[in-house]
Structure 1
Amino acid sequence: MSVGFDFGTATCSVANIVNNIVQPIAVNGDESFIASTLCAPNREAVSEYLYRHLNILPMSEVGEKLLQSSINTNKREGLDVIPEDLRFGKQATALYLEDPTDYYYVKSPKSFLGILGLDEIRYTIFEDIVCAMMANIKRNVESSLGKLVDETVIGRPINFHNRGGEQSNIQAENILCRAATRAGFKHIEFQFEPVAAGLEYEATLTTDRNVLVVDIGGGTSDCSLIRMGPTWVGKQDRAESLLGHSGSFVGGNDLDIHLASKSFMFEFGKDSDAKTGLPMPNMPFWECIAINDVIAQKTFYSRANYRELKAMQSSAKEPDKLARLIEVYDNTLGHSIVAEAERTKIALSESENFSARIQLFAEDINIPVSVEEMEKSIYRPVKQIQKLVRETLAQAQVQPDEIFITGGSARSPIVREAIKSVVGNVPIANGDYVGSVTAGLARWANLCFK
């Protein structure tokens, strides 16, 4: 049986086609979406869990060495890995927040897959993480359907990362393919996410149109200008219908991070002064919330950086604010700050003002944020999205008849107006903000695996 699988940066979802109708499939209890998160007692527990409880073996010599090392480490630490040790989705986040210092927590692994320069161990660790998440989803899908699922079309962005070009894309797709194979999928295809979103929109058209599809995902944004309509429905060869493509490693996470940086981090000492009157270094305030940057997170949570933070606090005019930053370090709270920025972004799509709330151990910080402030905060990533639209139009040399916009951050009036300001007076349509890509992948799977 075949399914469309959106292994997203923020959430994952799966759907199939029944009587030509898209059917979302429960992947987390009764829910058809699951957050792209994993929590385990330690990193080594992931590799041992795959082997011990799912009988999923490594596919490489490096993987075998990593597994043996993981088993030895867990044995030495007295950790007997049981199935309940690995949590996914909301359950993973809830467990992590109980004691952030005591768990291994991964959010949005898709953001890391295109980073070039990974050594073989890091590559294999990412593969294990993705495999564990995919295997969990596949088991839940098969439980929901009561059928074996071994064929899938997996969505992918135009570009997984801003640096590395096609080499980065090949690496990321290889990790996804190997992880999916180990998870039990026997036949795997990939489709561009904006093309998939366009396929779902195409099913609603009664005449042929040139449609600019803008997909603003959690970690990437993609644009495609596509000829679509009744003439193209059901065709596997769509080469002539794809007029222009552009994609970048900028998405909803970047909007959240920039909003947190500009609107929240002053409460932790950003833009404050030292006793000497000189400004405090800005980098630590960015690194602690750059949750989609492996190097930044590793740098912030290093022991060397802890000493730097303590030195900054002792030299600060406002040491209490720096104490908050040290609490972020101690309790690994960067994810929580960005999550509150996401909540603020969503609230401001429907209201002019919102009071954000960041919970620390001894206090709650309430921060009022307006739509105008958010617009200033997310200016840079929004400009990058506008650039993608311009690049796609320049490739296509065709003016779209309409715009189809999808992805969670597409709800934002700021983002919608920014796109419209580039394209001009073209109607904007939207379907399911978070389900269009999955639905299109299901349609493509139904076509591929007939």
Structure 2
Amino acid sequence: MKKFLYGIDFGTTNSALSIFDEEKQEILTTILIPSLIYFPNQVSSDGTLNYVVGETAISSYLSDGMDGRFIKSIKQILSKSSFTETRIQNKRYTASNLVALILKELKSRADEIIGFDCKKAIIGRPVFFDDDSSQQDVLAQTRLSKAAELSGFTEVRFQFEPIGAAFAYEKTLIKKENVLVADLGGGTTDFTYLVLDPEKVGSSNRTDDLMATGGIYIGGDSFDSAFMWEKGTPYFGKHTQYEATPGKVLTVPKSLFANICTWDKMNFFNGLRIKKDIENYYYFSGNDPQFKNLITLIDNNLAYSVFQSIEETKIGLSKKDVTPFSYANMGIAIQEDITIDQYNEIIHKDIQKISTYLDEFMEKNNIRADEIDSLFLTGGTSLVRAIQHLFKRKFPNVKVNTGDNFTSVSKGLAYSSYLFDN
């Protein structure tokens, strides 16, 4: 029987699995799916789980009129101790249960390709799941390990995602290089500084080649949240005023709108008290039409479709100087041109945090810019122009390389088979 292992990049936005043929020492193929799960409201008649994963989750969610439970960015809850479980279709789901559904989908597709049940995997993880707490980082690692077990993997190793990206880049080199790798995903930005050498591809010990690793909990989702706060929330009544008592006019609490800027805070609106408060704000605002949009957003579970429009705007601005922010659904109408300068201003604080962290990372690890032979950028967020300008500004004399922004990590993880030698 042939020997295979899977390199798995479980990502905030997308997840990828590369099938590695251990005998031929090559990648057979790579599978890429969105990290999405949709649970229809209708429970299966036979009592089995009723859910869809990946591309089908989007189409099913939209065809069902955006009814049911739509879950994205699951990776971000791995480190949150405040998240213990959620109930869907009268069943209890932990963070590990939810992650396992995506890993199972990837494994099932890969197993079908190779023709048997593969138990061996190298799974990527960010350098830090949570940059504020080592305890929460351990929690995330434990949950991810449990998810791998629930998915049917019995032989598992973990590798830092930027190291995976580096090994994918190493396959393209013709000489030894000192490389700074930046893996910019939806949830985190990770850095690795290491020596890459094409003559060492597949070597069993790369410990001496790894010079520094680090990361910060900022990524593409952070940019989307900032955009929603600045450009999206005004369309949902952020500036709505209401008459608290006769003659006393107040603005509705800003906290309401902080909770529509990330999907995982939307359950804030499930409580009876907050629902009643929202109804009162609407009534005492004189039925403000913008605030009505907030009610429509909550009642009809439209958050994901709004963030799809934000994502389209972000992608558009990676190539154009002006791109529309456009959304029309159930009476909510958004149509506004966004310039690249406006967008850069919106994400400026997050870009500055990444920049400051990178400076600290280099200083802490005694890395000089003139010692770096090349930069390797990967991850979907690396396409954001402000990110590209950041690296060009900091390293004007260093060549910048990119690979496949969505599959480089999984391929490099698959090339990390030496981890099973220890």
TM-score higher than 0.5: yes
Q: Name the SS of the counterpart of 2:218 in structure 1.
A: coil
Aligned to 2:18: 15
Shift of 1:6: 0.9
Determine the C-alpha separation between the residues in 2 that align with 1:180 and 1:271: 45
Displacement after TM superposition at 1:365 (Å) = 2.3
From 386, 404, 411, give the equivalent of 2:383. 411
Q: Indicate whether 1:138 and 2:107 are aligned.
A: yes
Secondary structure class of the residue paired with 2:191: strand
Instruction: Write the mapping of 1:11-410 to structure 2, written as runs, cut at 5 A.
Output: 11-18=14-21, 19-25=24-30, 32-41=31-40, 80-82=46-48, 85-99=50-64, 102-119=67-84, 125-165=94-134, 167-230=135-198, 232-274=200-242, 278-291=250-263, 294=264, 296-316=265-285, 319-399=288-368, 400-410=372-382
> Which amino acid is 1:112 matched to?
I
User: 142-151 vs 215-224, which deviates more?
Assistant: 142-151
Contact kept, 8 Å, 1:301 with 1:329, in 2: the verdict is no
Q: Distance in 1 between matches of 2:358 and 2:298?
A: 38
In the TM superposition, residue 405 of structure 1 has moved relative to its aligned partner by 0.7
| Aligned mates of 2:356, 2:286 — CA distance in 1 | 40
Distance 1:254 1:184 in 2: 33
Q: Does 1:428 align with 2:400?
A: yes
Give the structure-1-normalised TM-score: 0.83
Of the structure 1 ranges 267-276 and 343-352, higher mean CA displacement relative to structure 2 is found in 267-276
Residue 199 of structure 1 contacts residue 443 of structure 1 at CA under 8 Å; is this kept in 2?
yes
Question: Partner amino acid for 2:129?
Answer: F
Letter aligned with residue 421 of structure 1: R
Instruction: Give, as a single letter, the amino acid of the residue that structure 2 aligns with 1:15.
Output: S
In 1, the alpha carbon distance for the partners of 2:287 and 2:344 equals 28
- Percent pairwise identity: 26
Q: Distance in 2 between matches of 1:317 and 1:425?
A: 60
Partner of 1:445: 417
Gaps of 5+ in 1: 26-31, 46-73
Deviation at 1:13, TM superposition (A): 1.0
Q: 1:303 to 1:336 in 2, by over 3 A?
A: farther
Counting helix residues as a fraction of each chain, which structure ranks higher? 1
- Give the 3 Å change call, closer, same or farther, for CA 311–100 of structure 1 in structure 2: farther
Deviations 1:55-86 (CA, angstroms, capped at 9, x unpaired):
xxxxxxxxxxxxxxxxxxx7xxx954346x21
Unaligned runs of 5+ in 2: none
Q: Over the residues paired in the alignment, what is the CA RMSD in angstroms?
A: 2.6
How high is the TM-score relative to the length of structure 2?
A: 0.88
Greater strand share, 1 or 2?
2
